[in-house]
Amino acid sequence: MQLSNEIMNDMKQANKDEIRQRYLAVDTSNVADVLDTLGYLDQGLSSDFAPFPGRRDGTKLAGWAYTIRGQMTPFPLGGDDDKMQACQGLSAGEISVWSGDGEGICYFGELIALGMKERGCVGAVLDGGIRDVRWIDQHGFPVFAKYRTPIQSIGRWKVNAWQVPVVLRGATSNFVSVKPGDFILGDDDGAIVIPAPLVEQVLAESERLTATEAAIRTQLSEGLTLAQALAKYGHV
């Protein structure tokens, strides 16, 4: 029996949801190590990207990249229709990834964050600024951004494309490429981009490293020395 497109889409979404939940249980450090072994050495985002409001409470960011691009463009006050249209395309389990040349202005605030969350968006990464930080935090919407600012983008910075390849500032390179459907993981150590073709491979190996580290912690607490742990497990 041939499955309908609707059933196939539901199965695909269920698999993506499972992958996202599993990524929430691993650390960016393990993901970075796995990517290194695969030859992807420059996937980490710049340390300028930080979680807002900046609390170290273990909040994590994990989801599929939905890209939005803009640039500094003077225009009359009254709104950015392209920004609204871009946000309407977001789906469950996705993270909005904002790129562009904005300086000193926010790309969005509380109301747009609420609209994105209503569509199932699970967070945002901004190569620019954020405002309404306290209110966004109360809504439980995780954001990694370069800075905070009270200054709006209306009249200054305008969306010009979405769901296209973009670049964000990198940790070990000038820029990291992000394509629609790549995976973004962020935690207290920072944020990293996993290319879409590698998502499941990187996840499985990161879970293996996570389990190994858990075993080492347990054995260290039971009296195993660090030297013994290194001899047994090697570098982790």
Query: How does pLDDT run across 166-202, given as a tens digit for each residue?
Result: 999 999 999 999 999 999 999 999 999 999 999 999 9
Q: How confident is the model at residue 80 (pLDDT cuts 50, 70, 90)?
A: very high
Mean pLDDT of the chain: 90
**Res. 224: pLDDT tops 70:** no
Q: How confident is the model at residue 1 (pLDDT cuts 50, 70, 90)?
A: very low
**Res. 64: pLDDT tops 80:** yes
**Res. 57: pLDDT tops 90:** no
Average the pLDDT over 96-125 and give the result. 95
Query: What pLDDT is attached to residue 195?
Result: 98
Q: Percent of the chain scored above 90 by pLDDT? A: 75
Average the pLDDT over 201-222 and give the result. 85
Q: How confident is the model at residue 134 (pLDDT cuts 50, 70, 90)?
A: very high
Q: How confident is the model at residue 7 (pLDDT cuts 50, 70, 90)?
A: low
**Res. 124: pLDDT tops 60:** yes
How far apart, in whole angstroms, are the C-alpha atoms of residue 197 and residue 195? 6
